[in-house]
Structure 1
Amino acid sequence: MQKKSHYGVPLERSDYLALEAHRHSCPPERFARWLEGFGRDRRLAIDLFSGAGGLSLGLQRAGWTLAAAVDHDERALETHRANFPGMSLNMDLGDPAERDRLEEILEPARGKIDLVAGGPPCQPFSRAGRSKIRSLIEEHGRDPHDRRKELWKAYLDVIERLQPRAVLMENVPDMGLSDDFVVLRVIEQRLEALGYAAELRLVDAWRYGVPQHRKRLILLARRDVECFDWPDALPEDQITTLRDAISDLPPLHAVATERVGARELRYSTPPEMQSDFAADMRKRTQKEKVWDHMTRRVRKDDWKIFNDMTSSSLYSDVDASLRRYKADQFTDKYKKLDWDDLSRTITAHIAKDGYWYIHPDQNRTLTVREAARIQTFPDRFRFAGTRSDAFRQIGNAVPPLLGRAAATALLPVKDQPANSGVQSRWSTVRKELTSWATNQRDNDSWHQLPKLSPLHAAVVAILSRTRIPSDRLGKLLESIRHESVLTDDVFKQLLADSPTASAAERTRRLSGLVDVPDAWAVGRSGELPSLLDLKPAETRLYHLLIGDDVLWTGQSALRVAARLNGSFSDRTNRMSDGRVDLVRLVGAGEDASLRMAALRLIGNTVCKVREPLCTACPLARFCEGRAGVAGEDLFTSAQDS
């Protein structure tokens, strides 16, 4: 059906693709028989929040058989049901009663489910998602408590009920980066309490053959052995380019008055003209056919814009007479892809707007099949529903090649107990760190550890950038150790004891709250940073020292974490990989802030940039980088407090 629109081309809803169920698909009432038949003696997995099945396909390629997939999107489940064996269940896992029902359905497989995988819906955690939801709340009154953000609890609940040997969880990096990894630290600690060893990793999907920029958070856990051997990652000069991914597909002409592509087209590229990637994508599909190679019609003015663009063009470079959007607000509204580079990240937004994905030399946006290829879905994989349904399912999916790489790291280890439970190395490190930090509260380092009074925390935060040695700062704080309010006498004492002119100058920033008792009350501790106009780093340190759960990312703590992990994250990717290294040490719970502050203290006193005092470090026996740094100047980042 077509209708005219202000969009400038006829708008038509594509045909609906109905798919038949996989021949080894089964309904819940036949699951017990399925287990004794097709599922017998297979390594079984279930996929929660499965979508169309990107992660499921990765698991399958790594050696698992899908026993069940669960989602609340009927179009995605129709796709999953057509492409995989086992059950495809429509359930809202946010409902505890539905989780009870899932447990009942899976009862025949109790003890046989080897792996639980999934990616709890991530929209509220992504940058685009948060801004969109904030807009909906402000303009349309949407409930600000988005239940999707809590579905990780449902995911963890299912794991606790089934206790598989292995767990795989995938999400966008912002699930961790936006909230100091609080959710992931809680998940990791609860898994450890169940006998799992866990690994959190930030992964660039292109490192595993995915032809796009796509960074993902992967949480792996297993109960048989603490071993996570990922496949070898590709070096930077061996990326799978867009040309490798889609150049073998039939060219399409984009004219506003014609449909672009079709459900079924002839495929004629000879094998010798295919890249290795394309040859892999063509396996087990009909030799002379390609399906779903179709996209939207193109406006005449867009055709002209696309024709004049290069891969480096910005929207502001478009002829002003052709622009429909403000160039200062939509700097990257249009993006022409580069044959010899990675694609930009394929997201669900492609279902509504393909301007971010303009073909390198055909004046149109990407087709369904091209988007699927870039996500590493093979050509035999079909997507149920309309063209928009397919785009949305593809954009929401985990790239199967990334899923395969992560799942490979969870394969059983020969001659190891199947599901006996393990003692995680990192849980042991955290116990040692907690014990050491607790003891430090009784010596001269008390002022560097939570839980300080608001007064003491504010003084330390304000003086944190003065480079005053910890022992001298301790002497300054000792003179007011038993004070909790900044009286005029206390203020004068601090000024008199300031060891440097810079310290005295910074201390004067407290003057506005002298003899204001209410400002220093514990119940108002959260207001102090704004009352004192603390800088962002000072504010985070203040909150850490009063006992708030803050992932403090100063260089000293990052250095300790990097060395213990045997990495260089403190020098290369501080705010991403560096924070992941910190997470393993900090953990969750009431002592998280104590461990975090202790890492900062260790970095400032013994784990120094040059000639670290490893013999005085409470974590030396766990340090993977100890041999490399002792007596050698390998870590050249500037030390800070």
Structure 2
Amino acid sequence: MKGSGYGVPLERSDYLKLAPHPDSCTPETFQEWLEGFGKGKRLAVDLFSGAGGLSAGVERAGWTTAAAVDFDERALETHRANFPGLSLHMDLGDPAERDRLVEILASANIDLVAGGPPCQPFSRAGRNKIRDLVKNHGRDPEDRRKELWSAYLDIVTRVRPRVVLMENVPDMGLHDDFFVIRTIEEKLEELGYATQVRLVDAWNYGVPQHRKRLILLARRDVAEFNWRDPDVQPTTLHDAIGDLPELEVVPTARVGEREMSYRKPRNLSPFAEMMRAGAPRGRVWDHMTRRVRKDDHRIFELMGSRTKYSDLGELLKTDEEKTYQRYATDKYTDKYKKLDWQQLSRTITAHIAKDGYWYIHPEQLRTLTVREAARVQTFPDRFRFSGTRSDAFRQIGNAVPPLLGEAAAEALKPADDASGDREGLQPHWREVRSALTEWAKQRRDGADWYQLPDEPDVEQVSLHAAVVAILSGAKIRPAEMAELMGIVRRAKRLTAKLLDRLLEMAPTAPARSRLDRLAPLVDKPYAWRWEKRLDIPGKLGMKPGEKALYLLLIGEDLMLVGQGTLRVAARMNGLDTNHPNRLSEGRVNLVKLVGAGKDAPLRMGAIRLIGSDLCREDGPVCSDCPFLAYCPDRKARPDDLLTLAASQK
């Protein structure tokens, strides 16, 4: 241990070596395990398992983990110590390794494949390869470390479990229009699975922290996903860790120990009771954290739960100990976070392995310990983490909270009335999308041709896409818009003569003003070449909404999120049109209608059309809507709605 510029002696904790679980096995003894410990049990596989948060959750819900796979050796040692079955070190980005895994599992009746594959959002340019990856089970070695979600899907496709559970961060969907999620759902539905995607806040299921996750469920026995009712009251930080021993905190001194005595309080919270189940009586493990710098000790003392790092300057001006802030307040406004006993914890992330400044104890002048972080993630006290203290923090921060995993897995339990037929289903949303696609094609062949994307012309950008986008904010009556678009329907290039005619036919001054914006591309045929399509919005000064519509109309796969499209999605999911979290959960609802594949842009255009022309806030024209037979909102409306709708036509 030596001095350093960090203000505390650098210390590396001891390495905790864990023995394998007594009922663990190897690939060579897996068949024997299946015939012994695993016999008669509902078996699960956990891919990209890490330390085993999701494994712990599915086991709480009634499954036994037959195999877990990860590339992190420390996390696998943790998994092997805490769970029965196989804990395999594999790079699932390697097709040969996936072949080996499928071969190992061939003799097992796997009921559930779970996992949280790393999923990077895809740019529009990168999406063109995705469908080929899905068709070929992600077997392109050039991309094997980029598209690990396709490796996950490959194993599901070949193992064919009854149910599937995938967990990831919400940004996986929100940053790329849910493109990867939509692609995965489409493939699963082709295999006969009914699917469900949900954004779930973990505190609703007993996890004492703010933590939103994206959950994808699939099953091929029944088309129902019955989640239990969310908790009414959150589990507070005090409920979670208030019973753990107080630690002596002296600047630069060791804080906590690997093993300490534990005295059970009289009024132990139900959560803490659950966490203590199976732990050694009178002992607590891994209640230790980093040393505290002298200046941090003082800052922790001055802070309250609402104090931001940028607020500390004023507090420190009168501080007799002359403590200074080490970080620029314009960049690190929330560098430190003191937690509140009566609130949820801040989200535990892998960053806690680097420093604990986001997780300062509410009373003691230190950051959270390994055991406290594990509690906040809902790992029970009997659960140990292999490696050093930093290894443990990293494994905890990367994990799925077991209680969240349990809630998701419960929605996949075998149905009491299931027939047992595992040949697959005709998923409801696939049927809905099929009806929408046929309706959209009929409308595209008629008067609404310019409102919907056509098959892309690989040489030329359709002129009408730019014109419709430019005019999208102008209030033009449908008949007048149809007349305008008739002028450009067969035009291959924008000439000065064509623009003059459009301006002459424009019904209003605002419409003429908008059409004037086309001038920079007059008599420039090469600007309309297909390879230049992404340059057009910039050259025409399109606003974000105009650009999105233009891209959709030239056949780009994206989601248009607006009042009309969100209203359609809400009604089709049986929700109030002004339900909470419309922008996040509303996108998830929209995913079910848009789907994936070559017709996804066409369906998105059709939903936009339905939202503006048919599915109005008041007086929806249900009789013309392709969703008439599927809409829960329609079923809840008066019987005379269709008559009313017909009279409005």
**What TM-score, normalized to structure 2?**
0.91
Q: Name the CA shift for 1:569/1:283 in 2 (closer, same or farther; >3 Å).
A: farther
1:189-588 pair list within 5 angstroms: 189-235=186-232, 238-270=233-265, 272-319=266-313, 321-418=323-420, 419-451=422-454, 453-568=461-576, 571-588=579-596
Describe the shift of the 1:119–1:461 C-alpha distance in structure 2 as closer, same or farther (beyond 3 A).
same
Q: Deviations over 1:477-522 (max 9, x none)?
A: 1122111211111111111221222111111111222222221223
Structure 1 residues 630 and 365: alpha-carbon distance in aligned structure 2, compared to 1, 3 A threshold: farther
User: Which AA in structure 2 matches 1:614?
Assistant: C
Deviation at 1:442, TM superposition (A): 1.5
Superposition CA RMSD, Å: 1.7
Tell me how far apart the structure 2 counterparts of residues 345 and 594 of structure 1 sit (CA, whole Å).
39
Tell me the amino acid that sits aligned with residue 440 of structure 1. Answer: R
Query: CA 1:632 to 1:366, structure 2 compared with 1: closer, same or farther past 3 Å?
Result: farther
Amino acid at match of 1:68: A
Query: 1:293 and 1:148, CA in 2 relative to 1: closer, same or farther beyond 3 A?
Result: farther
CA contact (8 A) 2:42 2:63 kept: yes
Q: What do the CA deviations read for 1:125-168 (whole angstroms, capped 9, x no partner)?
A: 59xxxxxxxxxxxxxxxxxx985541001000000110000000
Secondary structure of the 1:202 match is: strand
Structure 1 distance, partners of 2:637, 2:552, is 28
Q: State the SS of the aligned residue for 2:445.
A: coil
Query: What is the one-letter code of the residue matched to 1:107?
Result: A
Contact 1:558–1:569 (Cα < 8 Å) also in 2: yes
- The equivalent of 1:638 in structure 2 is none
Change (3 A) 1:493 1:465: same
Q: Is residue 253–residue 363 contact of structure 1 (8 Å, CA) maintained in 2?
A: no
The answer on whether the counterparts of 1:614 and 1:630 sit within 8 Å (CA) in structure 2 is: no
Corresponding residue number in structure 2 for 1:17: 16
Distance in 1 separating the partners of 2:186 and 2:468: 30
- Corresponding residue of 1:182: 179
Per the TM alignment, residue 571 of structure 1 is displaced from its structure 2 partner at its CA by: 4.8
Q: Give the distance between the partners of 2:510 and 2:434, measured in 1 at CA.
A: 38
Question: Cα gap change, 1:182/1:534 in structure 2, threshold over 3 Å: closer, same or farther?
Answer: same
Aligned to 2:70: 71
Q: Deviations over 1:509-560 (max 9, x none)?
A: 1122222222122332111011111111111110000000011112211111
**Quick one: distance in 1 between partners of 2:638 and 2:560?**
25
**Structure 2: runs of 5+ lacking an equivalent:** 123-141, 317-322, 642-649
> Normalising to structure 1: TM-score of the pair?
0.92
Which amino acid in structure 1 is aligned with residue 203 of structure 2? W
Paired position in structure 2 for 1:87: 86
Bigger Cα displacement from structure 2, 623-632 vs 414-423: 623-632
Distance 1:403 1:568 in 2: 28
Distance in 2 of aligned mates of 1:392 and 1:366: 13
What's the offset of the Cα at 1:631?
9.9
Q: Contact between 2:348 and 2:373, CA under 8 Å: does it hold in 1?
A: yes
The Cα of 1:121 is off from its aligned counterpart by 2.3
Q: Does 1:594 align with 2:602?
A: yes
**Which of 619, 634, 647 is the matching residue for 1:626?**
634
Distance 2:601 2:243 in 1: 54
Cα distance in 1 for partners of 2:290, 2:481 equals 66
* In 1, Cα distance between equivalents of 2:532 and 2:302: 59
Which sits farther off after the overlay, 552-561 or 622-631?
622-631
**More deviation, 458-467/386-395:** 458-467
Deviation digits for residues 326-379 of structure 1, max 9, x if unmatched?
000111111111111111110001000110111111110000000000000011
Whole-Å separation in 2 of the counterparts to 1:576 and 1:120: 21
Give 1:8's aligned residue: 7
Instruction: Give the number of aligned pairs.
Output: 608
Q: Which moved more, 1:257-266 or 1:47-56?
A: 257-266
SS at match of 2:46: strand
Which residue identity does 1:443 align to in structure 2? G
Are 1:555 and 1:570, in contact at CA under 8 Å, matched by a contact in 2? no
Find the aligned partners of 1:393 and 1:598 in 2 and give their Cα distance: 45
> Matched residues in 2 for 1:146 and 1:233: separation?
39
**Alignment CA distance shift 1:569-1:330 (3 Å):** farther
Worse-superposed segment, 461-470 or 393-402: 461-470
How far 1:324 sits from its partner (Å)?
Answer: 0.7
Q: 1:613 aligns with which of 613, 616, 621?
A: 621
How far the C-alpha of 1:6 sits from its partner, in A, is 0.4
Is the partner of 1:337 in helix, strand or coil? coil
Contact 1:612 1:629 in 2 (8 A): no
Q: Distance in 2 between matches of 1:541 and 1:558?
A: 16
One-letter code aligned to 2:630: F
Q: Measure the CA separation in 2 of the matches of 1:51 and 1:177.
A: 24
Deviation readout 1:101-122 (Å, 9 max, x if unpaired): 111111221xx10000000025
Residue 62 of structure 1: aligned partner? 61
Q: Partners of 1:632 and 1:175 in 2: how far apart?
A: 43
State the distance in 1 between where 2:580 and 2:480 align: 32
Q: Contact conserved, 2:113 with 2:161, CA < 8 A, in 1?
A: yes
State the AA in 1 paired with 2:365: N
Distance in 1 (alpha carbons) for counterparts of 2:336 and 2:260 = 28
Instruction: Pick closer, same or farther for the CA change 1:218–1:148 going to 2, 3 Å.
Output: farther
Q: 1:173 to 1:631 in 2, by over 3 A?
A: farther
Q: Distance in 2 between matches of 1:214 and 1:187?
A: 23
The aligned amino acid for 1:624 is P
CA contact (8 A) 1:125 1:172 kept: no
**Paired AA for residue 226 in structure 2:** D
Q: CA deviation at 1:630?
A: 6.2
State the distance in 1 between where 2:202 and 2:113 align.
21
**Contact residue 253 and residue 260 of structure 1 kept, 8 A:** yes
After superposition, residues 33-182 of structure 1 pair within 5 angstroms as 33-109=32-108, 112-122=109-119, 124=120, 148-182=145-179
Distance in 1, matches of 2:147 and 2:251, equals: 44
Whole-angstrom distance in 1 between the partners of 2:59 and 2:640: 46
The whole-number CA distance in structure 1 between the counterparts of 2:391 and 2:577 is: 40
- Contact 2:252–2:294, Cα closer than 8 Å, also in 1: no
Q: SS state of the match for residue 3, structure 1?
A: coil
Residues in 1 aligned to 2:242 and 2:361: alpha-carbon distance in whole angstroms: 10
The residue matched to 1:558 in structure 2 has which SS?
helix
